[in-house]
Structure 1
């Protein structure tokens, strides 16, 4: 059912990891907090004031804010806080679309008679998250998902902003082009080079002009968003289209053996999640970020869908071998693996049986041990003595 008016809420926890740390340790409240060591996983707004940002190296962050307090990440605490916040979301409305562990879209258009206006519901939601979970949250309210997310970004931190339907473009057009979904550093530079710095200037261009400037997909996408054309509704029960994990490596040179070890750990992580979700994949994607911050992806599509760790790892290793000349030349600061072309586990085409152990028996045994005794109970020999990296909490697959 389509509901007109500003009825979509975008709820986004403020500096989530850092806020949990400040909630749990009163000594950190009001002080600049950095979560993570070698790489900044999160920064409190007190630290952001000095220019500290997520994914920044820890050394650079401390040069910007020498008096910051660095705390190690506590993923179990963040996962528990996320679950508690999503309980508040679901108590507010049954129409909740989770985007990540710290943000979601909520549709409240059908609740006016029993719960009040969207603005009243948003204010009550913020109060309940603070009371029940102890965390600040910002909410943007608008007619479209895109504009609700923009509104929450503008309202941060710890704010509430409603964009009425008759004031959408008046609100949107003065904002910088970086507020448009899909405008990253490269696209922003292309627009800035032509003197385009605001959303209103993008909206003033013909779609054909943007297509010629940015390509067909990006040009049409930005033209629509600049006019707040976003027909997507809040959807419940959407399964993710890919499952991935990545690891920041810092700027130190890495050997091929180190990269292969990190890759194996990532593949172990994502294939375990794949099996836990009762799904299979057909495409393996390798993601790399170089020392100059440029990113590339390389992919390989298997002949048959699988959830077998070894098959996925073999494909990922081939992709890494092919990328090694680029890595040797440019350095690497991040490596990631994603599995896509997902399907249900029972969608796998049955094959003729061959002698040997049943397919997946080793994976099943390893999963069982790790489920019972913890992830660190079994590890690969190549990972002995190495930091396994941080397993970031995610929404259920």
Structure 2
């Protein structure tokens, strides 16, 4: 079990912000500098941190208002305790520095010498042309709402009531920003405007936001068929191939270039030995080689011609996005790495663009080094405060004190900060091996190659087991859908919970067989939730305000070595034990033996190497099902006079087979066919295997069916 200090907390998660409820009079007031010194607000809440459109605001006054109004909330009390832990960590670092200085006066010189090969490797991985583009929609949710409410353009507005999703630039001048409690935003606007203005709250419309995001994505994919979108409003686009075609064929228009890019992509798919996946190491290497080849060819053209075409292309991209979305504007940054491009996309907001050249001394360092460390993606409240304790406030000082950073921070964090001080260069310009410090902006980090995929939801505090399981079920199936879209499976499943007191706990488990299905995710998550309830419930009131499931240790579903189960099933069928009579089914028989083996595995029918039961529908928190083991199946005669039957829990069709093992397999395949798009579905919930604590009731109070019920009927 992981405690809160050990979690990788995402700072911009609304669940980490001020409670949407008003201050509690019964809580203890904040003591010490937190109430007397408004500058500590930046160490407690991100509401006081940097955001586009907030330049020139009276930050000290805003910080003071935030602290005054929220000092008695449960969240602020919790943040003060966390900040005290950060202070303790800083004191430990200071003690380490004093000890190192006393025992080894030449430590800095030695570390600088050790760092030089690493620095050379980082710089060698940079692109020689600025082809990395980050496109960021301007105040996206708010802009979508203003399309139908143009009269609110010059009034302070926001999307969201209890928790603000985003605000317009007028509201940001008063310090109102995303992930802020609505009542705090109301107070800021009222007080800073002298009572002349009030904050207007608009309800969210995620269907509209998704629609506009898809429209923008369709445009961006014309410029880069492989572009990555990790949120509704931000995209990472590699313009290298597009710019190369434009420079090679000056007379070509956008349609001709797009057609050529699409044709090349189709040819790549045809000739590729394995399907493309950002989780596959061979694919990542090939992408790296393609980027290097494109970069080398772009150097054949003059720098002036390249910059001219690049500037025009980004402008065209932004114009097409605006037209496709019905008037939504976006800002873009173009640079030699996605880290720099992300920072640049924020410079000329709204509706602007910034190009940072590829030359280090003339372009990159003059742009980066004056910036506050907080501007670097991945450096959040915790790292910024820790660095500031050692007089590191800018990227330039981060570079100058690189030896000190390597001494004080853990290896992964120190490498991340060194790379950040140089501009985040990496050979493939699309991923990062390092992790930001705990408490920092993980979702802002310049990482494109995903190490995990997760879903979490914040809600009003829940206590009953049925309520928690309802939430957990929805999260598990949403995550399963995400994994299917990404064509990945996971070997590690983690559960994250946040108590009403904002204390966070996590639990993880690694499984032998890679998972993707909602049933499997729910089964493991529910078991971990029960374990956490036993461990945490004895010390805290088990009232949750957030539940999340994260899958990591990802593998592509096209990998032939996904799990021991696939190998075990293959050996089992090859040995003759699997020679059972075929059960009638609606699925088309596939002639290819390899496809048959893959299909049987993906249908979730397997045999445990330890003799564990074969599960057709993975039940959650049920008594052990009386399935047949591998040994039982092996001992069955080749032909069995008795016919075994069971009804499909989805369509109620009668399934017949010559043995219980064959029935298990046939029922599993049949259920999968019923759940395919276009198939009639009567009761999906009966196939999910969800059992509430104490015996769940579903569909008018009927007890959920278990697979053992079907076998008992035979």
Normalising to structure 1: TM-score of the pair?
Answer: 0.81
Q: How far, CA to CA, are the matches of 2:478 and 2:365 in structure 1?
A: 44
Q: Distance in 2 between matches of 1:155 and 1:74?
A: 27
1:230 Cα offset (Å): 1.0
Query: 1:21 and 1:364, CA in 2 relative to 1: closer, same or farther beyond 3 A?
Result: farther
1:290–1:333 Cα contact (<8 Å) kept? yes
The corresponding residue for 2:186 is 62
Aligned ranges for residues 231-380 of structure 1 at < 5 Å? 231-233=426-428, 241-250=451-460, 252=461, 254-275=463-484, 277-289=486-498, 295-324=504-533, 326=536, 328=540, 332-345=544-557, 347=562, 349=566, 350=569, 351-352=606-607, 354=661, 356=664, 358-359=667-668, 365=674, 368=677
**Contact 1:261 1:382 survives alignment (8 Å):** no
> Is 1:206–2:418 an aligned residue pair?
no
Aligned to 2:318: 126
Contact 2:126 2:426 in 1 (8 A): no
Match of 1:48 among 172, 185, 192: 172
Query: Could you list the per-position Cα deviations for residues 217-276 of structure 1 after superposition, in whole angstroms to 9, with x for gaps in the alignment?
Result: 00111012102241254669x8854332111225x5645553333222211221233345
The structure-2 alpha-carbon separation of the partners of 1:203 and 1:335, relative to structure 1 and needing over 3 Å to count, comes to same
Ranges of 4+ aligned residues in structure 1 off by more than 6 Å: 369-373, 378-384
Deviates more, 1:323-332 or 1:160-169: 323-332
2:372 pairs, out of 151, 176, 185, with 176
Cα distance change of structure 1 residues 366 and 73 upon mapping to structure 2, 3 Å threshold: farther
Which position in structure 2 is the counterpart of 1:37? 161
Equivalence for 1:103: 234
Residues 137 and 233 in structure 2, CA contact (< 8 A), matched pair in contact too: yes
Q: Does the alignment pair 1:22 with 2:146?
A: yes
CA contact (8 A) 2:126 2:337 kept: no
TM-superposition CA deviations, 1:318-366 (whole Å, max 9, x none):
3223334547369754321122233344645232464547448667756
1:224 corresponds to 2:419 = yes
Per mean C-alpha deviation after superposition, the further-off stretch among 295-304 and 186-195 is 295-304
Contact 1:144–1:232 (8 Å) recurs in 2: no
Per-residue deviation, 1:142: 1.4
Q: Say what the alpha-carbon RMSD is for the aligned residues.
A: 3.6
Match status 1:161 vs 2:373: no
Secondary structure of 1:155's counterpart equals coil
State how far apart, in whole Å, the 1-side matches of 2:399 and 2:328 are. 37
With over 3 angstroms needed to count, the CA separation of the structure-2 counterparts of 1:314 and 1:330, relative to structure 1, is closer
Larger Rg: 2
Q: Deviations over 1:117-146 (max 9, x none)?
A: 222222222222223321111111211111
Long gaps (5+) in structure 2? 1-124, 191-197, 254-307, 432-447, 570-605, 608-613, 615-660, 691-695, 700-714
1:197 aligned onto 2:426: no
**Comparing both structures, which one devotes a greater share of its residues to strand?**
1
* Uncovered stretches (5+) of structure 1, i.e. residues with no partner: 385-397
* Residues 1:231 and 1:308: Cα distance change in structure 2 (over 3 Å): closer
Q: Name 2:85's counterpart in structure 1.
A: none
Structure 2 Cα separation of the partners of residues 220 and 65 of structure 1: 41
Residue 153 of structure 1 and its aligned partner are, at CA, apart by 2.2
The question of whether the paired residues in 1 share the 8 Å contact of 2:477 and 2:518 is answered with yes
Give the total of aligned pairs: 379
Choose the corresponding residue for 2:211, options 80, 88, 97: 80
| Alignment match, 2:340 | 147
